[in-house]
Amino acid sequence: MRDYSKYDFSTVAIRAGWWDGDPVNGAVSPPIYQTTNFVFHDVADGARKCESVHNGYCYTRLGNPTLSVLEERIAALEGAEAGLAFATGVAAITALLTELVKPGDHIVCSNSVYSATNYFMSEILAKFGVETTFVDAANLEAVEAATKGNTRIIYAETPANPTIKVIDLEGIGRLARDKGAMVLVDSTFATPYLLNPLKFEGITAVIHSGTKYIGGHGDAMAGLVVGSAKLMDRIRDTSMKNMGGILGPFEAWLLLRGLKTLAVRMDRHCSNAMKVAEFLEQHPKVERVFYPGLPSHPQHEVAKKQMRGFGGMLSFELKSGIEAGVTLMNNLKICRLAVSLGDIDTLVQHPASMTHWYVEREERLKAEITDGLVRMSVGLEGVNDIISDLEETLALV
């Protein structure tokens, strides 16, 4: 892979993996190689390419030129040796974990994570003899207390879904090294623009739901993993190849398009979210606001130290409780009621009844995912329009 370290983020986001364009026809944008398989020159050529994608392409489940551009680009943006592209974020998470754990292993996981991550660990991996302990990963003492002699992985999201907690990556990486464990970080909320977890010693791999900010337009599902070339090759040849959660070439092209504007979009997401968070924190009907850019956020200093900006995600609770939240969400006009995030549209949702409905209430409350919590993905609309929508709707509460 080319050395991209001397270039600005936006230059890498636009050019990595396709630096010189198409040598055949001169295309500036990478072509969509919408094909399932590739013709070999002869039997020996086919044997080489079937053995490894590094020798060329044989079948899109094993590798595809459009996907290769995306994988090199996301790796370059994260400062990683290599990357892999999957059909969804969940496919990326399951392929990574399936490769890294075996029966008898133990995982320490943040208790504030995407609900499908929680389910995969607590229900599916448990069937195969892998134990998971869920703790507040923002509390390093709690993480250390939860580790055992067989702890293989410490898993965290930062900022976390949906509580927006920020994890001290320097601290958790140091802890993992001392315990002989690996740290896996879901950095979907931060994106490579705001945070590069691999820069912290002890972090093994980084995961993104490409469906969110990287795609950015709510029209493509994808997952991405970056790490060492050795680990990425292992995953490609095992769980990725044989479980088959493969990203299609067209979706890969959509993510490449999204990456080109990631920096300018994230600047606007951050700016809008800060103004919305400040408005909500000052509103008399709002009990609490969780946004890393606010000095009131418990991990504000950690966020300032390790992030380049505070992101577009926030959560809040109303003083009147869950019914007030329902009234708010049912009457918004600009802000849309939908469960995803990272889109150009502002989206709100109710974690307890929507994304995290199948997490036991007792476990939700331990993770501070309360019944009245509202999660908000602040979009790119005019920020005054977003705030006016909230102000008018809060008047109904």
- Nearest Cα neighbor of 117 from 99, 137, 134, 138 is 134
**Which residues does residue 347 pair with via DSSP β-bridges, in sequence order?**
336, 377
Give the Cα separation of 35 and 58 in Å (integer). 10
Look up 366 and say whether it is catalytic.
no
Question: Out of 61, 241, 304, 308, which one is annotated catalytic?
Answer: 61
Look up 114 and say whether it is catalytic.
yes
Which of the 8 DSSP states describes residue 53? Answer: G
**Which residues does residue 135 pair with via DSSP β-bridges, in sequence order?**
110
Q: Are 342 and 312 in contact (CB under 8 A)?
A: yes
The SS3 assignment for 121 reads helix
Give the Cα separation of 348 and 290 in Å (integer). 14
Burial class (CB in 10 A: 0-12, 13-18, 19+), 134: buried
Torsion of the alpha carbons at 170, 173, 174 and 175, rounded to the nearest 10:
120
Give the Cα separation of 34 and 65 in Å (integer). 10
Give the Cα separation of 91 and 85 in Å (integer). 9
Write down how long the chain is: 397
Give the Cα separation of 64 and 132 in Å (integer). 35
Give the Cα separation of 276 and 328 in Å (integer). 15
Which of the 8 DSSP states describes residue 355? Answer: T
Question: Out of 186, 213, 236, 364, which one is annotated catalytic?
Answer: 186
Give the Cα separation of 57 and 8 in Å (integer). 31
Look up 212 and say whether it is catalytic.
yes
Distances (CA, A) of 250 to 38, 75, 141: 17, 19, 45
DSSP string across 377-391 = E--SS-HHHHHHHHH
Q: What are phi and psi of 376, to 5 degrees?
A: -130, 125
Question: Out of 212, 236, 364, 375, which one is annotated catalytic?
Answer: 212
Burial class (CB in 10 A: 0-12, 13-18, 19+), 232: buried
Question: Out of 4, 33, 57, 114, which one is annotated catalytic?
Answer: 114
What is the enclosing helix (H) or strand (E) of 181? none
Catalytic residues: 61, 114, 186, 212
